[in-house]
Amino acid sequence: METNKLTEANQALIREYLDIVEHDSENLERTMRLFADDILFELEPTGDVYRGKPAMQAFVDVAMSGRTHSGQYSIKITNWFTDGEQLCIEYTHGGILTGIYTGGIKARFGQGLARYCITYHMRDGKFDRMHEFIQATTFLANLAMPFMLKRIHRLADKKMARLGQAA
């Protein structure tokens, strides 16, 4: 079995990402600098795909406009590991929903309502592929999650259309 060497560029990328998650998760500009121009992002359980940095930017803008995870709702990494080329992070967070993609429903949800696992492929100090898996921990959250994710995708598509680009 071949093992991948962790390059200095990818090591710096991991350090920067973990610092953003722990201290600056609301900083979208800083986050977007981590992605390659040709980023491919797949999201489960809906199977939605975002291709390219403009589509990723549209997704991030919509997703973050619909919730916050600062203060008591911060992201909590529960596990992470890398082989030098792939990075896998398991995390959870709480949040405050603003109603943007929840049909106007505003709510607070506590730490652990959903569990996340995201895998990244790293190339030259940038993330060029991501695959995120979301598993809600309650019946209602499991029921609502695909609807919220599809709404985010539709809103991101609309944003891309306004910019004259396809998602």
Tens of pLDDT, residue by residue, the chain (167 residues): 566 788 999 999 999 999 988 888 778 899 999 999 999 999 999 999 999 999 999 988 887 776 665 566 567 889 999 999 999 999 887 666 666 555 566 555 555 567 889 999 999 999 999 999 988 877 887 787 888 888 888 889 998 888 776 54
Locate the DSSP E strands across 61-137.
Answer: 67-68, 76-82, 86-92, 95-97, 107-109, 114-123, 126-136
How high is the pLDDT of residue 112? 58
Distance CA 42, CA 107 (A): 26
* The predicted structure's pLDDT at residue 105: 61
Sign of the C-alpha dihedral, residues 155, 131, 29, 114? positive
pLDDT at residue 68, as a whole number:
63
> Is there a contact between 109 and 86 (Cβ–Cβ < 8 Å)?
no
The residues, any chain, with a CB within 8 Å of residue 139's CB and separated by 6 or more, are: none
CA distance 42 to 20: 21
167 lies in some domain: no
What residues make up the domain containing 68? Answer: 8-162
What's the CATH code of the domain at 56?
Answer: 3.10.450.50
- What is the structure's pLDDT at 166? 54
Give domain status of residue 1, yes or no. Answer: no
Q: How many folded domains does the chain comprise?
A: 1
Q: What was the pLDDT predicted at 89? A: 96
Specify if 3 maps to a domain: no
